Structure 1
Amino acid sequence: MAPFPRDPSELLAALKQKEEEVILAAQLGNALLLENRQLKEQSEKLHEQYAEKLEELEQGKHEVRVKLERHQSQWESQMGDLERDARELSAQVEQLTRALSEAERDKSRTQLEHNENTQRLQEELKAVSPTPGWVDSCFHLCSSKSNRARVKQTPAVGSKLQALLHLSDVLSLSHFCFHSCVHVPLTLCAFQLAEAWQEVEAARGRSQQLQAQVEELQEEVSLQEARSYGDTSLLSELESSLETTGLGVSKEEVGLLINTVKAYCFIKKKHPKHAKNRMEEELVRSKNDMMSLNNQLLEAIQRKLELSQELEAWQVNCSLFSVDLQSNDLSRITLSHCPIIS
């Protein structure tokens, strides 16, 4: 501690020095108070800004959660629709496969019946058709008896000879008509059978195309199911990552997450509809092809029935014609023997 000055001048100088020190201390205290006040105001402003940013982050987080819940509900509804469509497509593919197998069985059965009917009709035609020597023998018999009638030159036989000659002309005309009736239906039947075989081959090609389309639809259904499983796992990863996010998330990261979710939902909203429309078009085209194939099979069956009816009618006509020829032959033989007996 400094000794107390005894001289008044020294005392006055010491007092002035103390006064200056007090003034400096007061100024320093005022400066410190002012700086403290400024720091306090800055701290309050920073606290308010921090509270505002925290509120904005909480609000953004809440909006992101609301949007995610909304997109999740939409995604779940779309996934349910896609799964239901996949089940319907699988059922339709199974139905088309069964229809194709039934059509193949019907086609093979129809071909077998057609071949059996054709073979049976050919055998019946061979059995019904008369031998060429039968008509020739009738002609030779008529000519020999007419020659014997000419040798006798009796007036009583003249009229019967004319009748025999007329009968010979009638038999030759009947023989020509008979062969024409046999040849024309056989040619027509062969042509119609060739057309039926062409239709069957065309139906076989269409059925093979339908089988290929069914296989493509099955592949698309399997790809759709695999894609739906992958999308579900991706959505669960996004949800878990958002739940683990704390208060330190920045606005840029939140905006990037929102844009990613929007783009993902937009892509998944567009592409399944395109695939669904494509698969529906393929199914409609397959159904139309199946209907046309069934119509062609029905037409082939109807054509076969018509051919069978025509051949049966032709067989009846041939039988009647054969009976008429036999009756004419008997009457001719009777007339030819009458002059010899007389």
Structure 2
Amino acid sequence: MSGHEDAVLATVEGRMGRITLNRPRALNALTHEMVRRIAAALDDWEHDPAVESVVITGAGERGLCAGGDIRGIYEDARGGGGDASAAFWRDEYRLNARIARYPKPYVALMDGIVMGGGVGVSAHGSVRIVTERSRVAMPETGIGFVPDVGGTYLLALAPGQLGTHLALTGATVGAADALLCGLADHFVPADRLPELLKALATRAVADVLPSFVCEAPPGELGAHQEWIDHCYAADTVEAIVNRLLENGAPGAKAAAESILAKSPTALKVTLAALRAARGLGPLEAVLEQEYRVSYAALSAPDLVEGIRAQVIDKDRTPQWTPTTLTEVTDDDVARFFAPLGDRELTLATGDSPQEVPW
């Protein structure tokens, strides 16, 4: 097998189809070929009566998946015209929608780091399990990008303005806060995951889960929801930042400082995308919008600059264009939502996401 194929291990273990993301040195970051391999495994198992559930895990000790392979996106956007990245996103977003409507239980073990594209291959599943080691985030604004892989759909469904807070700051949350925000369903201690996998190989998911699920250690967001809901309800990013700075809560000031370090364009597009997502309906419609936004980002300066600063040169000092929120016009934002004509991503809306009894 080639190295690309080894990056996703698809095995049948008893009654369970198991997908293992197998690039531990890259924190299991997703490549286009990995997306294709996951989709192929789902195809193989959908009509196989011997496979009763699908489980996705990450190799190594650090996490399920740190996101898409943004180094590849950087090289493509700089020198390849962005075609390879656009093709990657088309297949990735199709996979995200497929996972949400998969007819068999799709169990995601969201242990360790689960960010960006890692959220896309886990948080649309029907059974999403976090542990005390889980670190879940959509940190795209920090690289001049916008939450994708259905992230704006998921965050728009979070209670109050919690999703807006996570989208703009890119903040990382632990197990309890992931549960609170609707990004996960159950808490299982990390040391019980091997035992859980063994049980899923022999018994139905609904029969297995009750003996493993525990109460998560306390989170943080619930205690802050009052100021989060007030501050992030403002109409613009500038007004949100002003409310945060005026609020007085230590967390509010830290959130404002975090936001002000992010790409001004990405922040404004993110807020617009998140609020539009609430009225778009099914996941597929939101993914279609996200594709327009992602496609536009390929030809905007901040994505390449953000990846350069965070991943390539690692100087952590991106030079955003424009440099301030007030310089980003409504027309600048609207450009990200412009129809793409024959380049549009068009996803058929299938059956409703599976209703699960646990």
Question: The TM-score by the shorter chain falls in which range?
Answer: under 0.3
Normalising by structure 1, what TM-score?
A: 0.17
Larger helix proportion of the pair: 1
Higher relative contact order (CA 8 A, sep 6+): 1
Larger strand proportion of the pair: 2
